[in-house]
């Protein structure tokens, strides 16, 4: 049973109607790490619907949160907005400066600037949740009841937070953060409370009152989160491991939620997605790969598979180089498997059956929509990468794959080729897959060539002139060019790579040469010998 089905089964024991929630603070560019949370929620929702449950899947936008600092991608001019709610300040322009004109004209806030492209990406991968914006919810009174309870029970909430988190709150702590005289949530001291007003004094020496019913402030995070569970009625939520740690915000939230008269949601804690060799993704540090950027390189099903095939408690290392290659090829392998046949095999072990069922579930969850059908391109990612770099036109690619004017390639494969060409032009193509045939070699290429290398080069040319022009025969011809003169095959590959690609190693050579006209390759080797002898 897939991990999403396991969670759906647990929810079924608690009732038929469920609200599954995810959420995020749009403080910077969204990255693939953010997809783990919302796709985890989406897959649980899909599994719950498949189980016959009545499900509402929501995405909470925490745009009432403050701007914490001037991030590296922002101009210093944003320092005036530190502490201000990101849903109430201007979006950045191309230089990272506040775009006051666009804010006043179109109402495009800082939060919307980062949120809207992410929502577009979500639609592309088949995720269309109900959107709830936090700041608007405060201003329209959705938080009124829970905010009143929080303020009325300030001492009880203080006791929960201090006991569970084992940290002492300040003497002037209060479960409501008012906006100060300039619209900031920072540096404000609460001086009194008489519902619906929270009285305050700010860092500028100004005194005033915050009306809870008008959303003139917000609940601090550890209270805001369970407050949302309560007024929305959330029954299940996936969240990062930091929130699920001992003494973390879920631990305090589950007790605070009960003060609001609501049971806490069933939790599902997930691990981070990190960039290989660079650590956890972070919008504020710029250590990211954006979902829109990734969707330009691969079909959405492949990004969904990234999340679907890994249990939430398993960390994922990812990059848009070899990780993407392996993931795309894994998707094609899954599509080609006959799961029905595998499941009826005799003496199938329990472990093997679980692996097959997990693969079936992961493939099902990779669908963009429940109604979509699987459409395999039947071409490994690596091979398509090779063709896209060795063929001079799309027509030549299709011809190599056996397609013609009468039998055109499927739409999925055309789309894959277009994305592949973008990937090849981008910074993401791994060097080990980059193909660059050197048609005009120079003397610098052969500085490490001695008599043995030259001898092998002469034989290599003859071997490639006479062999059948296919992967197997070319693959034999390269090492044979050294073995036939009693030298190591290692020298043959050194000679072939340097002569044809201008480097000592690269992707597997025989499949590359098989896709290139023999005449071109022989002509290059002739030029190499001419340069060496000149």
* Residue 470 domain-assigned (yes or no): yes
Same domain, 482 and 526: yes
485, 459 contact by CB (below 8 A): yes
Tell whether the model's pLDDT for residue 190 goes beyond 60.
yes
Q: Give residue 313's pLDDT.
A: 93
pLDDT band of residue 344 (cuts 50, 70, 90) is confident
Distance from chain centroid for Cα 79: 30
Same domain, 448 and 475: yes
User: What are the tokens at 264?
Assistant: 């806490």
Same domain, 390 and 467: no
Q: How many domains does the chain have?
A: 3
Tell whether the model's pLDDT for residue 287 goes beyond 60.
no
User: What are the tokens at 519?
Assistant: 């005449």
Same domain, 472 and 424: no
The CA radius of gyration of the chain, in Å to the nearest whole number, is 30
Question: Which domain-ending residue is among 195, 218, 241?
Answer: 218
* Residue 110 domain-assigned (yes or no): no
Q: Give residue 472's pLDDT.
A: 96
Q: Give residue 62's pLDDT.
A: 98
* Residue 474 domain-assigned (yes or no): yes
Distance between first and last Cα of the chain: 68
* Residue 125 domain-assigned (yes or no): no
Tell whether the model's pLDDT for residue 207 goes beyond 70.
yes
72, 52 contact by CB (below 8 A): no
Work out the average pLDDT over 234-260: 96
Q: Give residue 268's pLDDT.
A: 95
Q: How far is it, in rounded angstroms, from Cα 119 to Cα 35?
A: 11
Work out the average pLDDT over 17-23: 97
User: What are the tokens at 381?
Assistant: 């990612």
Work out the average pLDDT over 48-68: 97
Question: Which domain-ending residue is among 185, 203, 218?
Answer: 218
Q: How far is it, in rounded angstroms, from Cα 376 to Cα 334?
A: 10
Residue 62 or residue 297, greater confidence: 62
Distance from chain centroid for Cα 15: 32
3-state SS of 10-70 is HHHCCCCEEEEEEEECCCCCCCHHHHHHHHHHHHHHHHHHHCCCEEEEEEEECCCCEECCC
Tell whether the model's pLDDT for residue 10 goes beyond 70.
yes
Same domain, 429 and 451: no
* Residue 396 domain-assigned (yes or no): yes
pLDDT band of residue 32 (cuts 50, 70, 90) is confident
Tell whether the model's pLDDT for residue 405 goes beyond 90.
no
Same domain, 491 and 412: no
Work out the average pLDDT over 160-170: 97
Percent of the chain with pLDDT over 70: 97
Range 313-351 burial, b when 16+ CB lie within 10 A, else e: eeebebbbbebbbebbebbbebeeeeeeeeeeeeeeeee
* Residue 318 domain-assigned (yes or no): no
* Residue 109 domain-assigned (yes or no): no
Q: Which residues 6+ apart lie within 8 Å of 272 measured at CB?
A: 33, 36, 240, 241, 280, 281, 315, 316
Q: Give residue 278's pLDDT.
A: 60
Mean pLDDT of the chain: 93
Segment 203-207 long-range contacts (CB within 8 Å, at least 24 positions apart): 204/180, 206/180, 206/181
Same domain, 398 and 450: no
Question: Which domain-ending residue is among 158, 189, 218?
Answer: 218
* Residue 489 domain-assigned (yes or no): yes
Tell whether the model's pLDDT for residue 376 goes beyond 80.
no
pLDDT in tens, 406-439: 899 988 899 889 999 998 998 888 888 889 899 9
Phi, psi of 133 (to 5 degrees): -95, 125
Q: How far is it, in rounded angstroms, from Cα 446 to Cα 483?
A: 21
Range of the domain at 420: 381-433
Tell whether the model's pLDDT for residue 277 goes beyond 70.
no
Q: Give residue 243's pLDDT.
A: 93
């Amino acid at each position: 049973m897939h991990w999403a089905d396991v969670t759906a089964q647990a929810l079924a024991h608690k009732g038929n109607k469920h609200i599954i929630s995810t959420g995020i603070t749009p403080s910077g560019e969204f990255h693939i790490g953010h997809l783990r949370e919302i796709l985890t929620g989406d897959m649980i929702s899909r599994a719950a619907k498949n189980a016959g449950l009545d499900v509402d899947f929501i995405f909470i936008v925490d745009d009432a949160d403050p701007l914490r600092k001037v991030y590296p991608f922002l101009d210093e001019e944003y320092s005036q907005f530190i502490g201000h709610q990101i849903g109430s300040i201007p979006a950045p322009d191309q230089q990272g400066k506040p775009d006051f004109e666009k804010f006043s004209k179109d109402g495009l806030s800082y939060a919307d600037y980062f949120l809207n492209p992410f929502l577009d990406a979500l639609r592309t991968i088949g995720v269309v949740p109900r959107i709830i914006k936090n700041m608007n919810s405060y201003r329209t009174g959705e938080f009124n009841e829970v905010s009143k309870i929080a303020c009325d029970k300030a001492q009880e909430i203080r006791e929960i937070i201090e006991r569970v988190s084992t940290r002492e709150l300040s003497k002037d702590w209060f479960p409501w953060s008012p906006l100060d005289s300039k619209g900031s949530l920072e540096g404000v001291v609460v001086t009194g409370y008489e519902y619906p007003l929270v009285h305050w004094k700010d860092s500028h020496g100004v005194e005033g009152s915050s009306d809870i019913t008008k959303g003139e402030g917000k609940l601090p995070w550890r209270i805001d989160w369970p407050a949302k569970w309560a007024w929305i009625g959330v029954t299940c939520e996936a969240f990062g491991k930091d929130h699920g740690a001992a003494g973390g915000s879920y631990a305090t939230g589950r007790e605070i939620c009960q003060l609001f008269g609501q049971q806490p949601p069933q939790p599902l804690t997930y691990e981070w997605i990190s960039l290989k060799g660079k650590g956890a993704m972070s919008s504020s540090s710029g250590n990211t790969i954006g979902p829109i950027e990734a969707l330009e390189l691969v079909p959405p099903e492949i990004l969904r598979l990234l999340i679907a095939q890994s249990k939430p408690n398993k960390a994922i290392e990812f990059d848009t180089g070899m990780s993407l290659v392996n993931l795309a090829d894994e998707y094609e392998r899954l599509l080609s498997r006959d799961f029905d046949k595998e499941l009826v095999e005799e003496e199938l072990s329990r472990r093997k059956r679980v692996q097959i069922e997990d693969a079936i579930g992961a493939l099902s969850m990779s669908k963009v929509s429940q109604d979509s059908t699987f459409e395999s391109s039947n071409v490994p990612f690596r091979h398509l990468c090779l063709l896209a770099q060795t063929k001079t036109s799309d027509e030549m690619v299709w011809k190599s794959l056996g397609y013609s004017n009468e039998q055109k390639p499927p739409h999925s494969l055309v789309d894959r080729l277009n994305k592949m060409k973008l990937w090849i032009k981008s910074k993401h193509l791994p060097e080990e897959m980059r193909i660059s045939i050197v048609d005009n070699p120079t003397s610098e290429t052969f500085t490490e060539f001695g008599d043995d290398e030259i001898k092998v080069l002469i034989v290599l040319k003859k071997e490639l002139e006479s062999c059948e022009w296919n992967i197997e025969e070319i693959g034999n011809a390269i090492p044979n060019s050294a073995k036939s003169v009693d030298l190591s095959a290692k020298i043959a590959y050194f000679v072939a790579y340097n002569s044809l690609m201008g480097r000592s190693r690269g992707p597997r050579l025989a499949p590359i040469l098989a896709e290139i006209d023999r005449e071109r390759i022989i002509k290059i080797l002739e030029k190499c010998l001419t340069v060496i002898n000149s």
